[in-house]
Structure formats: C-alpha cells, structure tokens
Chains A and B, each alone.
Chain A
Amino acid sequence: MAKVMCLAVPVKVISIEGDEAETEIAGVRRRASIALTPEVKVGDYVLLHTGYAIGIVDEAEAKETLKLLEEIATLSEVH
C-alpha cells in the first residue's frame, strides 16, 4: 500500500534472476522487477518504485552533491 506514490526508495541489489532482482535496505528485503533497468549489476543501488527499479543511483554524483552541500554550507558562515 505505497502510501506516497512518488516514493522511490534507494535499495541495494543483492542478486539478479532473469528480469527480477532481490533488493535490500537496512535488512529489509523485497523482490523488484528490473524490466526498466536491465543493465543493473549486483551491488548497484536502484530506486524502487511500486515494485520496479526505475533508475540506478549514480554514486559518484551522490558524493558530488554532498560535497556541493558542504560547500554551500560553509558559504553561509562567510560574511
């Protein structure tokens, strides 16, 4: 009963069988269809939305965003 529909949660791909993957977040496991992300590999993080992986999380970009956030945060301390 996904109560928030736009919700897509980042989960880790543990194993892949055909067009399905076993995914995990903090020990919670769910099967997901990878019909939309057939190029996914074990160990990738995907965005899980209503039982489908809709995109692969770009870990490098995630790091960049955090760095950007820290930079902006330090700017707040200037003048």
Chain B
Amino acid sequence: MNDIILLAHGSGGKLSHDLIQKRLLPSLANPMLNKLDDSAIFEASGHLAFTTDSYVVSPIFFPGGDIGKLAVCGTVNDLSMNGAKPLYLSLSLIVEEGFSLSELDCIVRSIKAAAEEAEVNIITGDTKVVNQGQADKLFINTSGIGVTPFGIDISGANARAGDKIILSGTIGDHGIAVMSQREELKFEVPVESDCAPLNKLVAQMLNSSPRIHCLRDPTRGGLATTLNEFAQQSNIGITIEENKIPIKEGVKAACELLGFDPVYVANEGKLVAVVEPVDADKILAQMKQNNYGRDAAIIGEVTNEHSRRVAMRTKLGHSRIVDMLSGELLPRIC
C-alpha cells in the first residue's frame, strides 16, 4: 500500500510532508533546502546566469543514467556553456499516480550523486502528483543559477574565420543508449549514455585560455544542429572532417542498423568549443586531462569560403553539406 505514489502525496498535507522529509530531504539536504521555506534566499554577485529545462525522457531509466541524473547534468551544462559556474538548482517533480516509490528513491539518489559531482546545491523544489494516465511516470524541471566571471564572453555569435572546432568526445552515445531501451526496437548495445556534468571541464578549459568564442552541448539534433546554429548565429561557414569525429564502434553499428546518421543523434555529456587557432592545442591538451574530455579532438574549422552552412569532408574525400536536423529523429530523448 505504501510503495507507490498516491494523489495525496501531492496535496500538501501529511503525506506530502512525509515524502519531502523522509524521501527527498535526506538525500538532497543542505542548509538552504533544509529550511523548507517558500523560497530560498541567497547572495550572489557578478554576472548571473539563469537557465531552465524540462525533462521528459522515455524510458526514465537507461544504460548509463536516468531522468534524475539527466535533469541535473542538463541544467548544470546549460549554465556551463556560457562559462558560468553553476551554484544552485531548483527541482520540480510532476509524478504520475501509481509511480513506484523505490524507483523514485533511485532517481533521487541519482540526483544527489550528480549534484555532488557538479558541486551544486538544490535549494528549492516542488512536487505535484497527477492522476494515472496524465503524465508518463515522471517529468522533471530544473532551473539553475550560476555566476559568470567578468571578462568571459561566450556566445554562438562569436565564431570567426580561422577558429578551430573542438569536440570533447564520442558522439551519439546518449541517443543510442536510450533508443536501445525503446520497446519497439528490441536491440542491445554495448553503449551507455554519456550523461555527465561538464562544469569542471569547462572551468579547466577557461583556465587554460579565456579566449573561447563559443561553447554548446550538442543535445537534441546532435552535433550537426549545434554546428549549424553557430554557422547561422555567427554568419560564417564551418568545415569538418568525418575522419576526425570520435565515435564508438557500437554507436556506428547501431546507427547502420537503424538507418540513423550519427551527427544528428543526441549527446548529454559532450561539448563543442570554437576557439582561437593559437589556443587550440593547449585547450585540447587540457581537455584530455579530464575524464569527460579524454577523447577530445579538433574536428574542423571556421571558414569564410562559404556562409551559414556546415560542410563535411567525408572519408571518401568528397564534400557534403550537413544540414540542420529536419523532422524528428528520436522523440523524447531528453
């Protein structure tokens, strides 16, 4: 009787308080959250960064992670991609009536572990419960606040001809890991989601050179979409080498089987950086020292030979256009 979420858990009464006190607070405890006031009060100075994201990934558990880990890493990464140091997160849960409490515990543990690794605190939150059938198990929203050091100006509009493009590691891991769990596809892969908090990697990169022009994590729409965004925002062209893009054999094979192009498959623990050419090698070396950048590689450069497009030199030596993803490749991937 007490092993599933009931509507009463979201009503604000005793069961709600129990849920927070007994299941959420113990894992996520910190002085600000422990107060359980209507809002969390904190001080911060400098350029503040603020972001929000909702997570509806299906299924909620997948090789290498779950929706909880994703919710923390995704928002931490959004802050990091502007050079901000992530400080605080909010956590909102919308739970379907009947959801297993032990699964909830599991997800809360993942949230705790991810927050600890990223060194962020969850300082405010909310829990709502809806009738069975009105939400698919669990949806999460996280909003995040960070501080950007003065002098850092990272934006998709800053790319300049001659800049080098660095990719922090293998592409397609997350999308393929999630797809492998989709009932209708029935295949097993030796691949885990790459879901990870990248704030420390970014901090190390900025330490080695503050002249990073663009940073973005290629989530939905994959590497191709992120590069196209840069090309359009900065009004320049991009050329990449297919040979230089790191990709796991298992991901390549799964993409062959399913007919997907890996440059469009989602990643949740990777970043693309556009940097000054003189700094590229130094930044790359620094990235390789970090666990999440060990497979980093320079995959291409910014050019003004063409504009607002991304071209890829293939293994065969010919050039093809890599457009933005059109249509929907994989629904509910994050």
Seen from chain A, the residues whose Cβ lies within 8 Å of a Cβ on chain B are: 1-4, 7, 9, 11, 25-31, 48
Is B259 a contact partner of A7 (Cβ separation < 8 A)? yes
Given A30-B186, A31-B186, A25:B259 Cβ within 8 A: no
Nearest residue (CB) in B for A29 is: B188
Q: How far is the CB of A25 from chain B (nearest CB, A)?
A: 5
Most buried by B among A27, A28, A31: A28
Cross-interface CB contact of B187 among A3, A4, A7, A29, cutoff 8 Å: A29
Contact A27 B189 (CB under 8 A): yes
Chain B residues lying within 8 Å of A26, measured Cβ to Cβ, are 249-250, 252-253
For the complex, what is the distance from the CA of A1 to the CA of B330, rounded to whole Å?
10
Interface check B138, CB cutoff 8 A:
no
With both beta carbons as reference points, the residue of chain A lying nearest to B176 in the complex is identified as A28
Q: Shortest Cβ distance from A1 into chain B, in angstroms?
A: 7
**B185 lies within 8 A of A1 (CB):** yes
B258 pairs with A25, CB closer than 8 A: no
Bound: A29/B253 CA distance, A? 10
Are the C-beta atoms of A28 and B259 separated by less than 8 Å? no
Assess whether A3 is in contact with B260, with CB atoms less than 8 Å apart.
Answer: yes
Measured CA separation A9–B257 after assembly (Å): 6
| Measured CA separation A53–B188 after assembly (Å) | 17
Give CA–CA (A79, B333) in the complex, Å. Answer: 55
Number of interface residues of B (CB under 8 A): 17
Chain A residues with CB under 8 Å of B12's CB are none
| Cβ-defined contact, A27 with B259, below 8 A | no
| A6→B186 CA distance, assembly (Å) | 20
Nearest residue in A to B184 (C-beta to C-beta)? A1
Closest to A5 in B: B259
The reply to whether A27 and B257 form a contact with Cβ atoms under 8 Å apart is no
Q: Which residues of B contact A27 (CB under 8 A)?
A: 189-191, 249-250, 253
Of B185, B186, B257, B260, which is within 8 A of A25 by CB?
B257
**Option from B189, B252, B259 in Cβ contact (under 8 Å) with A2:** B259
What are some 5 contacts across the A-B interface (CB < 8 A)? A1-B258, A3-B258, A7-B259, A9-B257, A25-B253
Taking a contact as CB atoms under 8 Å apart, the answer to whether B186 and A28 are in contact is no
Q: How far is the CA of A11 from the CA of B191 in the complex (A)?
A: 18
A9–B249 CB distance below 8 A: no
- Residues in A with CB closer than 8 Å to B256 are 7, 9, 25
Knowing A26-B252, A28-B250, the reply to whether A3 touches B259 (Cβ < 8 A) is: yes
In the bound assembly, the distance between CA atoms of A74 and B252 in angstroms comes to 31
B254 interface hit (Cβ, 8 Å): yes
Cα–Cα distance between A1 and B183 once the two chains are bound (Å): 12
> Could you say which residues of chain B place their CB within 8 Å of the CB of A48?
257
Q: Which residues of A contact B188 (CB under 8 A)?
A: 28-30
Interchain CA distance A25-B258 in the complex, whole Å:
12
Given A1-B185, A27-B250, A27-B253, 7 further pairs, Cβ under 8 A:
A3-B259, A9-B253, A27-B189, A27-B190, A28-B187, A28-B250, A28-B253
